[in-house]
Chain A
């Protein structure tokens, strides 16, 4: 497959590893922010072929993992209403809320449907005018424009029965929060390639300017990741701190202005609530006035009291402070068949990837 297979070439990978070995002279800790990077790194066994002194820690870039329990509980409460259809991306189905999950509710007969695109939510709303269709809007800036398009279409087509549970997040403010806590030593960032396709390079400049760390916007194929790591190491060795683009074939400095405009038409920045990281300023969205009617949080609905397992380490894992191996529940109680926290549910969750892929 074009633009995929070429970037999985074994010989080039071996050569790049040699280059990395030659370039790296000191112990370095790099954070890979995006869940899709976490998966790719494990899928190809990249940790095992890097020199020992380079450590990759996983960050909070898994939108499913950082969805607060309260949002899951709200979705569940909504699903229990007879006239509601829940439309969601598949990853949310097994995330545990305080006492249940969408998958369990589906087994009880609630109308919960998996969709692959926000536009499918529009279709369902049109097909069932007598029902309220609620789309769980979860994702980062890669997904937000697609949600904005669905909202704009719904308004245009005067669809009054489509609502959105807005739990979208913005990545750069979360990175700022991580750098401010100083709890993890991060030598540099492997930045999310697809989020950057939308937002471009500027939202990350503060990483270099205010916090003096290098960062590289990186693609997801193994050669992309290896090149991205090499570019970071080179900056570190040369004592430079800049934001660079490795993923040049789809990331431009200005991002995707059309997509940014769509987001801007519908949403404005707001504080965001992240599981594990708490409230982060500017890291979420709220609906602009003309679209507020689609916000499902306006519904009068009773949601059960919030409960989280006291021993679940998801919060610290998401910040890179602890590894899943340090969690007392990991593998013993918490595993993909019985996830205690969202990090074990999402295929991009750090705990799930460690469980599935961790090398002996």
Chain B
């Protein structure tokens, strides 16, 4: 029930955005996350963007995970 999936914003019209989830296109509300630009990723829950996905943090998390996995 707390399903949240990242999707890429490809179109914005007023407070709605069209997002792309692996090729599946969906219209969602930006009422809870208005400050997004085209090309950014948002976390989608029941038809709303609830937060932006921070690409930099994602990269840092992955880098850390890779280092941890390599035993560094």
Contacts and interface: CB of A to CB of B under 8 A. Distances in A.
Interface of A: 1-4, 6-7, 11-16, 18-19, 34-36, 61-64, 89, 91, 116-120, 138-140, 142-143, 145-146, 149, 192-195, 197-198, 220, 223, 227, 230, 246, 248-252, 256, 258-259, 262, 346, 348
B65 A12 contact: yes
Given A1-B22, A12-B69, A250-B54, A119 B2 contact: no
Summarize B's interface: helix, strand, loop or mixed.
mixed
Contacts of A256: 32-33, 50-51
Contacts of A16: 65, 68-69
Interface residues of B, number: 38
Interface in B28-72: 29, 31-34, 41, 43, 45-48, 50-55, 57-58, 60-62, 64-66, 68-71
Given A149-B31, A149-B48, A223-B65, A250 B71 contact: no
23 contacts: A1-B21, A4-B6, A6-B58, A12-B65, A12-B66, A16-B69, A36-B3, A89-B46, A139-B1, A139-B2, A140-B1, A142-B45, A143-B2, A145-B48, A197-B43, A198-B50, A223-B65, A227-B65, A248-B57, A249-B55, A251-B51, A256-B32, A258-B33
Contacts of A14: 69
Contact of A19 (B21, B31, B71): B71
Nearest to B41: A3
A35 B69 contact: no
Contacts of B51: 197, 250-252, 256
Pick the most buried of B6, B45, B53: most chain A CB atoms within 10 A of its CB. B45
Contacts of B61: 227, 246, 248-249
Query: What 5 A-B pairs come out closest when comparing CB atoms?
Result: A15-B69, A117-B47, A3-B6, A249-B58, A194-B2
A139 B4 CA distance: 13
Given A2-B8, A15-B71, A117-B47, A145 B32 contact: yes
B71 A18 contact: yes
Nearest to A119: B47
B47 A91 contact: no
B1 A143 contact: yes
B5 interface: yes
B66 A194 contact: no
B32 A262 contact: yes
Contacts of A251: 51
A224 to B, nearest CB: 8
Nearest to B60: A248
Contacts of A246: 61
Contacts of B5: 4
A197 B6 CA distance: 13
A248 B2 contact: no
Contacts of A91: 1
Nearest to B5: A4
Contacts of B2: 34-36, 61, 139-140, 142-143, 192-195
A25 to B, nearest CB: 18
Nearest to B48: A146
Contact of A118 (B4, B46, B60, B62): B46
A192 B43 CA distance: 15
Contacts of B58: 3, 6, 249
Pick the most buried of B6, B64, B66, B68: most chain A CB atoms within 10 A of its CB. B68
A268 B6 CA distance: 30
B46 A3 contact: no
